[in-house]
Amino acid sequence: MNCLYGCGTVFKLTRKPSSWVLTPVYSFTGGNDGTTPEARVIFGSDGLLYGTTTGDSSLGGTGSATAFRVNLPATPCKTALCPGQETVLYRFTGSMDGSGPGWGDLAFDQAGNLYGTTSDGGSNGHGSVYELTPSDESWTEKILYSFTGGEDGSQPESGVILIKPAISTARPYTVARAPGERLSS
């Protein structure tokens, strides 16, 4: 493990008669699988879990920011630890394709594309809204919008919601910080 306090975990909580039981589903190693998931995971139409990691190296991890999928165990667990299998869908480079995607929740459209935000990077360095499209065994990223840090805001830390108009395709909506406001590093 490369992280000082752990690299993050996907887990489930199960209600028992008088308490809750936490069961780890996947624990990040801080390497190629990413590190520091901050937002919640979502279920895809395939029944698998999807999420992002921030790649926060300040916590001791060396992993990059990722979009990932976790396959849940196919059969009921017979032990306390019953790990799922994680697959990296996309690895963010931290520049034009965005940086820090782990803050906001993801959203799926009806075609199976994933939408999210990055809090930094993009063509202007102030974050972006992206789409990940599945193709065979890989996913392709497309930047839908790069924030300028002006009137459009900066560093979105929330996810997107999709609203489908009656005639058109789904449109992503999100929020960003006030114009020109930046977090100090």
Give yes or no for a contact between 129 and 141, defined as CB atoms under 8 angstroms apart: no
β-pairing, 49-53 vs 9-15, is: unpaired
Q: What is the pLDDT along the chain (185 residues), one digit of tens a residue?
A: 567 677 888 988 889 899 998 888 898 888 888 888 889 999 999 999 999 998 865 544 455 789 999 998 777 666 666 678 899 999 988 888 888 887 888 999 989 999 999 988 889 989 899 999 998 889 999 999 999 988 888 888 888 888 765 555 666 666 665 555 544 44
pTM greater than the 0.75 cutoff: yes
Residue 169 lies in a domain: yes
Domain count, the chain: 1
Residue 178 lies in a domain: no
Buried/exposed code over 123-152 (b: 16+ C-beta within 10 A; e: otherwise): eebbbbbbbbeeeeeebebebebbbbbeee
Residue 181 lies in a domain: no
Q: How far, in Å, are 17, 18, 45, 49 from residue 21 at the CA level?
A: 10, 10, 26, 19
Residue 123 lies in a domain: yes
For residues 127 and 149, what is the distance between their CA atoms, to the nearest angstrom?
9
Residue 185 lies in a domain: no
Structural domain boundaries enclosing 112: 9-173
Residue 182 lies in a domain: no
Residue 160 lies in a domain: yes
Give yes or no for a contact between 34 and 26, defined as CB atoms under 8 angstroms apart: no
Residue 80 carries which DSSP code?
S
Residues in the chain: 185
DSSP 123-173: TTSB-EEEEEEEETTEEEEEEEEE--SSTT-B---S--EEE--SSS--EEE
